[in-house]
Amino acid sequence: MSATQAMSKLAIDGGTPAVRQPLPPMYPGGMRIGKEEEDAVLEVLRSKRLFRYYGPYEGPSKVAELEKAFAAHMGSEYGLAVTSGTGALICSLSGIGIGPGDEVIVPAYTWIASASAVFALGGVPIPAEIDDSLTLDAADVKRRITRHTRAIMPVHMRGAPTDMDALMDVAHEHNLQVVEDTAQADGASYHGRRLGSIGDVGAFSLQFNKIITSGEGGMVITNSRDIWKRAVMFHDVIGGTRNGIPEDEVLPGVNFRMTELQGAVALAQLHKLDGLLDQMRERKAMLKASMEGVAKRKGVTFRKENDPSGDAAVCLIFFLPEPERAHKVAEALTAEGAGAGVIYTPGHSDYHIYPYWSPIMAKRTWTPTSGPWRWHEGEVNYTPDMCPHTLGLLGRAVQMDVSPDLTNDQVEEVAEALNKVLEALA
């Protein structure tokens, strides 16, 4: 076999893999941890002031600085730092007054935490269909509204914006509040506005595999002083008193407070966010352009983009006409060293897809008499076929990470893998 024949022969059939070196791990901010984070953490350690509100010595708070900087970066007035993205969702939902029996519409494709956060407050998550953008379909949201519905939670999955115009129209029409789950899309935008700043309140994750990270951590942003006040009180058991909220208005809070160490890392990472986004966008654009010809010829379509320039570009997603071919293509790409997977494979448990949210699907609660079902008068039943369109789409969706650390050579090799595999198998 000649070298050219070996190159064009698929690696899955014994040919030479198009990608020669392992691709960089997909921890965009995590892989950029460097001197800035080290210095910031050391500064906190040396100050012996690990908690924002007190310590042996006076000094500025990294967490307070992060809250200001993060909110400003995202175009919102108020920011609140918390311990996780889930914590950010719970504080956001408390901020808008979600409680026992309230229905919140969530996409059928999202990390289970979006639904669990609603559940944790005694609310009822209602899964709704996604559209070709793999984010909430406003038309289906409308169909799922009942008299118990209080809020909608668009989730900007895999870095890409939901169609916020359509969704905000539905929310306004039905007097519903909007919590943006921006856990996977730090810094991305929709028609010039950063995600998280468009709805009533936005929640972010700084968990280790997110775009920027402090290991664990989360942020809440809002333009409403009222929502912010409520979220502050929920996240800190004495947050009301600390923030001068009159005692007769204070609500009982818990503890989702961020440490100064996390604050220091998150702040350093925030300064790297837009650079990371630029690099991922540039690489994704090159990959997409490289496969446009073969995609068109083979009937492969791309994920719909509600705002192409706002996409965080953490991944490339395309649809094959049917699941079998999607699996073949993903396996062949993986054999080429290009790392690909089909988002939904029936029978493979994945907490990103509603039929696998087993505790919620089974309405399992901490005690037999607790949870939403004690208060919810309506009859809500979760069934594996309640969002068939979502499963249909995800079952033929192939996804590939786009690391900001891909070299030009690696982009070319992945492009070669895409062309080779789609040409042969799509």
Does residue 110 interact with ligand PLP by CB under 6 A? yes
How many other CB atoms are found less than 10 A from the CB of residue 332? Answer: 22
How many other CB atoms are found less than 10 A from the CB of residue 359? Answer: 15
Minimum Å distance from CB 207 to ligand PLP?
4
- Shorter beta-carbon distance to ligand PLP: residue 91 or 264: 91
Q: Kindly write down the DSSP assignment for every residue of 20-55, as one continuous string.
A: -SPPPPS-TTGGG--HHHHHHHHHHHHHT--BTTB-
Q: Are 318 and 302 in contact (CB under 8 A)?
A: yes
Among 70, 78, 109, 111, binds ligand PLP (CB under 6 A): 111
Task: Count interface residues toward ligand PLP (CB under 6 A).
Answer: 14
Minimum Å distance from CB 120 to ligand PLP?
11
Residue with tokens 């037999």: 368
- Residue 210 annotated among the catalytic residues of the structure: yes
- Shorter beta-carbon distance to ligand PLP: residue 189 or 410: 189
- Shorter beta-carbon distance to ligand PLP: residue 138 or 203: 203
| Exposure on the CB side of residue 229, measured as CA atoms within 13 A | 13
Among 163, 181, 200, 260, binds ligand PLP (CB under 6 A): 181
- Quick one: which of 164, 170, 166 has its CA closest to 151? 170
Residues 135-174 that bind ligand PLP (CB under 6 A): 155
Q: The tokens of 291 are what? A: 């496969």
Among 61, 76, 92, 114, binds ligand PLP (CB under 6 A): 114
> Percent helix, strand and coil across the chain, each rounded to 5?
45, 15, 45
Stretch that binds ligand PLP, among 29-37, 106-114, 332-340, 395-403 (CB under 6 A): 106-114
Does residue 113 interact with ligand PLP by CB under 6 A? yes
Three-state secondary structure call for residue 410: helix
Give the contact letters, 67-86, x = binds to ligand PLP (CB under 6 A), - = no. Answer: -----------------xxx
Does residue 218 interact with ligand PLP by CB under 6 A? yes
Does residue 197 interact with ligand PLP by CB under 6 A? no
How many other CB atoms are found less than 10 A from the CB of residue 3? Answer: 7
Q: Which of 62, 210, 328, 420 is catalytic?
A: 210
| Exposure on the CB side of residue 385, measured as CA atoms within 13 A | 0
Does residue 30 interact with ligand PLP by CB under 6 A? no
Three-state secondary structure call for residue 258: coil
Pairwise CA distance, residues 357 & 100, whole Å? 20
Strand order through the sheet with 177-181: 78-82, 218-222, 201-205, 177-181, 149-152, 103-107, 124-128
Pairwise CA distance, residues 18 & 239, whole Å? 55
- Shorter beta-carbon distance to ligand PLP: residue 17 or 85: 85
Does residue 29 interact with ligand PLP by CB under 6 A? no
Does residue 399 interact with ligand PLP by CB under 6 A? no
Q: The tokens of 253 are what? A: 């809070």
Minimum Å distance from CB 88 to ligand PLP?
7
Minimum Å distance from CB 208 to ligand PLP?
9
Minimum Å distance from CB 156 to ligand PLP?
8
Three-state secondary structure call for residue 149: strand
- Shorter beta-carbon distance to ligand PLP: residue 108 or 113: 113
Minimum Å distance from CB 401 to ligand PLP?
14
Minimum Å distance from CB 415 to ligand PLP?
28
- Shorter beta-carbon distance to ligand PLP: residue 219 or 329: 219
**Residues engaged in binding ligand PLP (CB under 6 A):** 84-86, 110-111, 113-114, 155, 181, 183-184, 205, 207, 218
The residues assigned a catalytic role are 210
